[in-house]
């Protein structure tokens, strides 16, 4: 397969990231089919035409069904608001297309489960936009832990904080409703933390959650009053992994000063690894040497020794950015399509992440811990 046709639905923050990734992936990684930017969809049509020109797509439409039906499209990228993900993904899979869907998969766990079932039924390849796990720094942390460099993990601490809803005067928008967004901080950013946490610590066995809405109403943009906020600004949880190890995680979209504090610490018997997405090219490693006068954290700057950094940049410490993580994600997807096998995370993997965030909300509602069934076996 020399070329593969891309259909992109939505041209906001993530639409631009997908367009960048599919445009550049072949430049950085030679071992995949060349993406052909075939059809772009947004509304209204004038906007779609403008963005198709800017992003380099051959055709523009305001009808995502027409995009799916277009024979020039092999991969459907879904970068619309959350409420459209499920309907578009199901239609694309039924039409025999591959699907690159942004997170969260759907508003509800039921819809996400249906999407995963459809992927298995129709056989299209899928991937969900958990781009932070594509970071070479994160993959290196996984390797160090697997190699036993810090000993046996004994505890996990994780945060994901931003301040985009910290100001009580920020106008009400679709992200505040269960009908348009689904979960709040959990579905928007907490799921990213879960994707990293489970990658480092393995599946979750039990979770006890507590969620809260800080700003109960928000002003309407036109000044005509206030509307209620329906989903959580803050979520916290105590975690017990299948390995028996414990953890604690916390997420807020109302944490002043935090811009993308997606951070973790893995505490282990001989040391600790810590990471913070606001410094995404760094990993901090402490290994106990027994000499407390000289012990301390080492800051490792990622470089070509941390794959696949070298494919994007030949020089250590020169640093990758957010959009390049999306390019690494796209590379993995195109490899799975061209060579067979599963992309990571496909709909089944992502469903496991999303089961955890929904379990936190469910636990908070019922006041009881949620015991998660063992994860699906790898295949």
Chain residues in the site for ligand NAD (CB under 6 A): 9-15, 41-43, 64, 79-82, 84, 102-103, 129, 131, 188
Q: Which is nearer to ligand NAD, 114 or 173 (CB)?
A: 173
First to last CA, the chain: 24
Residue 197: which of 254, 242, 255 has the closest Cα? 242
Contact call for residues 232 and 213 (beta carbons, < 8 A): yes
> Rounded to the nearest whole angstrom, what is the least distance from the CB of residue 97 to ligand NAD in the complex?
16
Which residue is at the shortest CB distance from ligand NAD? Answer: 12
Q: Are strands 126-128 and 261-268 parallel, antiparallel or unpaired?
A: unpaired
Percentages (nearest 5) of helix, strand, coil residues in the chain:
35, 25, 40
Smaller CB distance to ligand NAD: residue 8 or 32? Answer: 8
Tell me how far, at minimum, the Cβ of 78 lies from ligand NAD, in Å.
Answer: 8
Which residues does 26 contact at the CB level (< 8 Å), separation at least 6? 32, 34, 35
Q: Which is nearer to ligand NAD, 103 or 267 (CB)?
A: 103
Is the distance from CB of 164 to CB of 253 less than 8 angstroms? Answer: yes
Residues with Cβ within 8 Å of residue 296, at least 6 apart in sequence: 286
By C-beta, is 60 or 336 nearer to ligand NAD?
Answer: 60
Rounded to a whole number of angstroms, the minimum distance from the CB of residue 64 to ligand NAD is 5
Q: Which is nearer to ligand NAD, 242 or 276 (CB)?
A: 276
Among residues 188, 158, 368, 108, the alpha carbon closest in space to that of 261 is found at 158
Residue whose CB is less far from ligand NAD, 104 or 153:
104
What is the nearest approach in angstroms of ligand NAD to the Cβ of residue 188?
Answer: 6
- Give yes or no for a contact between 153 and 207, defined as CB atoms under 8 angstroms apart: no
Structure tokens at 176: 């505040």
Q: Where are the beta strands (DSSP E) in 220-371?
A: 226-228, 234-241, 246-252, 261-268, 271-276, 282-287, 298-301, 370-371
Minimum distance of ligand NAD from residue 179's CB (angstroms):
14
Instruction: Give the nearest distance from C-beta 119 to ligand NAD in angstroms.
Output: 18
User: Nearest CA to 100 among 123, 73, 114, 79?
Assistant: 79
Shortest distance (Å) from residue 42 CB to ligand NAD: 4
Of the pair 88, 211, the CB lying nearest ligand NAD is at 88
CB neighbours of 328 closer than 8 A, spacing ≥ 6? 131, 134, 135, 136, 308, 312
CB-nearer residue toward ligand NAD: 102 or 161: 102
Q: How many residues belong to the chain?
A: 379
Q: At closest approach, how far in Å is the CB of 174 from ligand NAD?
A: 8
Q: Residue 10 Cβ, how far from ligand NAD at the closest point, in Å?
A: 3
Q: How far is the CB of 85 from ligand NAD (least distance, A)?
A: 6
CA distance linking residue 85 with residue 180, whole number of Å? 11
**Cβ closest to ligand NAD, residue 12 vs residue 56:** 12
Contacts of 349 (CB under 8 A, 6+ apart): 128, 342
Q: Are strands 234-241 and 217-219 parallel, antiparallel or unpaired?
A: unpaired
Nearer to ligand NAD, 35 or 129 (CB): 129
């Amino acid at each position: 397969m020399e070329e593969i046709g891309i259909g992109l639905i939505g041209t906001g923050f993530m639409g631009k990231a997908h367009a960048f990734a599919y445009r550049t992936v072949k430049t950085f990684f030679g071992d995949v089919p060349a993406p052909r930017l075939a059809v772009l969809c947004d509304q209204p049509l004038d906007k779609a035409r403008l963005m198709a020109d800017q992003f380099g797509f051959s055709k523009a439409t305001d009808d995502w069904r027409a995009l799916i039906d277009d024979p020039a499209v092999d991969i459907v990228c879904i970068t619309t608001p959350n409420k459209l993900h499920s309907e578009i993904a199901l239609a694309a899979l039924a039409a025999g297309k591959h699907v690159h869907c942004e997170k969260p998969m759907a508003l509800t766990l039921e819809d996400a489960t249906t999407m995963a079932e459809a992927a298995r039924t129709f056989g299209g390849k899928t991937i969900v936009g958990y781009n932070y796990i594509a970071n070479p720094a994160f993959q290196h942390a996984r390797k160090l832990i697997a190699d036993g460099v810090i000993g046996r993990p004994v505890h996990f601490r994780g945060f994901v904080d931003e301040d985009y809803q910290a100001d009580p005067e920020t106008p009400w928008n679709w992200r505040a409703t269960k009908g348009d967004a689904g979960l709040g901080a959990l579905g928007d950013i907490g799921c990213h933390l879960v994707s990293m946490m489970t990658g480092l610590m393995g599946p979750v066995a039990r979770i006890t959650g507590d969620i809260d809405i800080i700003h109960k109403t928000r002003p309407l943009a036109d000044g005509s009053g206030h509307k209620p906020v329906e989903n959580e600004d803050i979520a916290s949880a105590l975690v017990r992994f299948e390995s028996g190890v414990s953890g604690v995680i916390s997420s807020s979209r109302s944490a002043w000063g935090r811009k993308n504090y997606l951070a973790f610490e893995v505490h282990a018997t001989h040391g600790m690894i810590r990471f913070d997405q606001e410094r995404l090219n760094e990993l901090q490693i402490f290994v106990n040497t027994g000499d407390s006068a000289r012990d301390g954290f080492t800051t490792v700057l990622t470089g070509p020794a941390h794959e696949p950094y070298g494919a994007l940049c030949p020089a250590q410490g020169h640093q990758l950015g957010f959009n390049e993580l999306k390019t690494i994600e796209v590379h993995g997807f195109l490899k799975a399509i061209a060579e067979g096998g599963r992309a990571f995370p496909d709909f089944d993997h992502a469903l496991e992440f999303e089961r955890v965030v929904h379990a936190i909300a469910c636990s908070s509602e019922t006041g009881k811990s949620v015991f998660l069934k063992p994860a699906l076996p790898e295949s």
